[in-house]
Chain A
Amino acid sequence: MKNLFYVENLSVGYYDKVILKDITFSVSKDCLTAILCPNNCGKTTLIKTLSGILRKKGGRVSVNNCSLSKRSFKKYILNIGVIFEDLNNQFICDRVIDEIRFPLINLAYRKKDIDFRVKRISKILAIDHLLDKEVFSLSILDKIKLLIAVSVVHLPKFLLVDDIFKFLKVKEQQEIFRIFRILNDEFGISIVFTTSLISSVIDADHIVVLGQGRKVMEGNFDSIIKQDNELAKLGLEIPIMIDLSRKLQFYNLVDTIYYDVDEVVNRLWK
């Protein structure tokens, strides 16, 4: 896999306060990357910095060899789409269709292209029946789908998503992950999302854990969850079935993580 998104020794913060220091990670093409960290750790500040809204305090960020700097900002920003945490404050238009059309009109696409793209993305996200609805009448799940549509309709290389899973129920989270996979597979859009929920990173391909202002660990879910004590020390909640499985593993009672009660009972008393 080719690494396309590089973050090297990045420091972020507000005014003279540095919140995250020396963060280094890279994101591969067609990959779902999670940035896992506790509340108040700087998730939103990091996403705002990566999207160019906040000025970085140090380090280097680049997408497709185009760095986040004043000189190449226009080129950089076309490569990314962003969804912020505050769902209701990101809409500009009243109607769903106008909201999706808005970035394309801004980027001077032709009407024919705009219509084609709006139709295609709304069908993929299953919001085509909502196109004439008022944005503020949508459910939270549909608002998130709409924000995804708006952010990817110009086909960026990366989608940055700030901590939206906390608003969703388990089934709704699975639906969003399904959409992320489609964006990965069909459009080659890599996703980088932040969260403070371990349950939301189970399906991620790559996880970066931040805490106490720095990068604490990095790897896939299996390697991260092995360090459950470290995760708990950071203030992250271990989901109850994972916690149970890890403790059973410690006493050599099971050899893997179980997510289902029936499975763990059947394994314990064969």
Chain B
Amino acid sequence: MEMILKDRFNEKKSVDFKEGSITSIQSNYIKNILKNLSNDYSLIYINNNDLYFLGEDVSDEIELYNRVFDYSLIIDILDILEVDNSFLKRKVDELSHTEKIYLNIIRNLSFDRKIVLFDDVFKYLDYGNQKKIKNLLMYLKERMYVIIITSSDVNVLYKLAEYSVIWYKNFFEYGSCDDLYTNVEKLVKSRIAVPVLPLITYKAKVDKNVKLFYSKDVRDIIKDIYKHV
């Protein structure tokens, strides 16, 4: 899905949201444009801020949302989220907050649309549940969905996304997440949040003349630091 945008100088900006990949966005403007696409039934927008339900039990709720849902897809998702099939018979009122988040994701994904915007879905979840959502993203990726994510935690975006688009004031960049977030100097100059691990690598080089590799995992950077201390 290609998105053509124009900045205030009428200059064209292009973002290519690729099938079977995860793209992160750090731009409220782009997010809002995408969010509006959900009104045209071309995109699924998932946000866990306001969870309102009308159905009595879980399957009621999904049916109210989408009468012609693909049952096998729902079962697959339940499996990935490590939730028993009996979840479908649970009363909505008795669900915990995390289970309500799961229900919100399931009812949204029940639609047959291949572009999904996950808007800060990791926000209310602990590590164990975040891992399950990551597994779900991998499942959707295998099924060639266009997956777009936002997060208030830039470390999550750096670790999870393959491509990234950042638009903040005059700063616009779209490209591979690895390239974008390792160009720390540019991000710092434009006052854009930098993930912790690339920032350590950058500071070590600039302030201490120590050359570390850019890592995505804490364990990798520890090994590298150990060699250089």
Q: Give the interface of A toward B (CB within 8 A).
A: 14, 38-40, 44, 85, 88, 163, 166-167, 169, 196-197, 232, 234-238, 240-241, 243-244, 247-248, 251, 253, 261-262, 264-266, 268-269
Say whether A235 contacts B128, CB under 8 Å.
Answer: yes
Say whether A269 contacts B129, CB under 8 Å.
Answer: no
Which segment of B71-79, B109-117, B195-203 sits at the interface?
A: B195-203
Say whether A237 contacts B126, CB under 8 Å.
Answer: yes
- Tell me the dominant secondary structure on chain B's binding face: helix
Say whether B125 contacts A261, CB under 8 Å.
Answer: no
Say whether A265 contacts B128, CB under 8 Å.
Answer: no
Say whether A39 contacts B125, CB under 8 Å.
Answer: yes
* Among candidates A166, A169, A237, residue contacting B130 with C-beta atoms closer than 8 Å: A237
Instruction: Give, as a whole number of angstroms, the nearest-CB distance from A110 to chain B.
Output: 39
B97 interfacial by beta-carbon distance below 8 Å: yes
Residues of B within 8 A of A247 (CB): 218-219, 222
Given the complex of chains A and B, what is the CA–CA distance between A152 and B187 in angstroms? 44
* Among candidates A14, A166, A269, residue contacting B229 with C-beta atoms closer than 8 Å: A269
Instruction: Give, as a whole number of angstroms, the nearest-CB distance from B2 to chain A.
Output: 33
Given the complex of chains A and B, what is the CA–CA distance between A234 and B200 in angstroms? 28
Say whether B221 contacts A169, CB under 8 Å.
Answer: no
Q: Which positions 182-214 of chain B face chain A at CB distance < 8 Å?
A: 196-197, 199-200, 203-204, 207-208, 210
Say whether A166 contacts B124, CB under 8 Å.
Answer: yes
Residues of A within 8 A of B138 (CB): none
* Among candidates A40, A244, A248, residue contacting B96 with C-beta atoms closer than 8 Å: A40
Given the complex of chains A and B, what is the CA–CA distance between A9 and B126 in angstroms? 26
Instruction: Give, as a whole number of angstroms, the nearest-CB distance from B94 to chain A.
Output: 7
Residues of B within 8 A of A39 (CB): 96-98, 124-126, 128-129
Say whether B200 contacts A40, CB under 8 Å.
Answer: no
B127 interfacial by beta-carbon distance below 8 Å: yes
Closest to B97 in A: A85
Closest to B99 in A: A40
Given the complex of chains A and B, what is the CA–CA distance between A265 and B200 in angstroms? 7
Given the complex of chains A and B, what is the CA–CA distance between A158 and B17 in angstroms? 51
Residues of A within 8 A of B210 (CB): 269
B136 interfacial by beta-carbon distance below 8 Å: no
Given A248-B225, A269-B210, A241–B196 Cβ distance below 8 Å? yes
Say whether A265 contacts B98, CB under 8 Å.
Answer: no
Instruction: Give, as a whole number of angstroms, the nearest-CB distance from A232 to chain B.
Output: 7
Closest to B50 in A: A88
Given A244-B196, A261-B200, A264-B200, A269–B126 Cβ distance below 8 Å? no
Residues of A within 8 A of B207 (CB): 262, 265-266, 269
Residues of B within 8 A of A261 (CB): 196, 199-200, 203
Closest to A251 in B: B226
* Among candidates B127, B204, B219, B229, residue contacting A236 with C-beta atoms closer than 8 Å: B127
Residues of A within 8 A of B196 (CB): 240-241, 244, 261
Say whether B127 contacts A253, CB under 8 Å.
Answer: no
Say whether B126 contacts A163, CB under 8 Å.
Answer: no
